[in-house]
A and B are shown apart, each in its own frame.
Chain A
């Protein structure tokens, strides 16, 4: 499982509140990714990181911010949660050897 954990695994929050999801890895990978998965939309890239303090936007970055202050942690923040951000969020790391990505177990977020 490439030593990836996500927390929390489930969260229910109210519209307008800030939410932070955490991705933690234990194998010192440089590249980390945040995706969201919605029915009918597959997986879409939100933000990614290519090193400590180095991040960039993906396809659906509006309403999200990220931070990576140390190699092992990549945080995703919903600045003011909306119902459209109800989704399953997956974190992934990328293996340097072959470019394949390994995914965490996911966080199911519900915004009411």
Chain B
């Protein structure tokens, strides 16, 4: 079964780059790895997804090594509004099931 782990929490200062890594073994080989942001009392919100190597959009980058046993979300120049919990989401092999990572609570300090 897929298993995912993330650091429980991270602190950063405004303007810094933040990297959050999710470790995942035995994930679906033909499915995307997706990252979400969640604020209190809200549902998770899609940030970025990728299949391999590097993907960049207007808010983040995602790095996935060739073995796909981990993925790293990179947030450039964080601001106070980026304070939230960040989750990775991966698929189980051979199913339509998905499992969330344990979540990383990011606190951005002024």
Contacts and interface: CB of A to CB of B under 8 A. Distances in A.
- In this complex, the interface size class of chain B, counting residues with CB under 8 Å from chain A, is 20 to 34
Contacts, number: 54
B43 A106 contact: yes
Contacts of B96: 31, 48, 50, 56
Interface majority SS on B: helix, strand, loop or mixed?
Answer: loop
Contacts of A44: 100
Contacts of A43: 44, 87, 100
Interface string B49-89: 10000000000000000000000000000000000000101
Contact of B32 (A42, A92, A99): A99
A50 B101 CA distance: 22
Interface in B25-45: 31-32, 34, 41-45
Interface in A42-91: 42-45, 48, 50, 56, 58-59, 90
B34 A99 contact: yes
B13 interface: no
A48 B95 CA distance: 11
A100 B43 contact: no
Contacts of B42: 105-106
A56 B46 contact: no
Contacts of B45: 103
Given A43-B100, A99-B91, 7 more contacts: A35-B100, A42-B103, A50-B96, A59-B99, A100-B34, A101-B98, A104-B43
13 contacts: A31-B96, A33-B98, A43-B100, A44-B100, A48-B98, A56-B95, A56-B96, A56-B97, A99-B31, A99-B91, A101-B34, A103-B44, A103-B45
Interface of A: 31, 33, 35, 42-45, 48, 50, 56, 58-59, 90, 92, 98-106
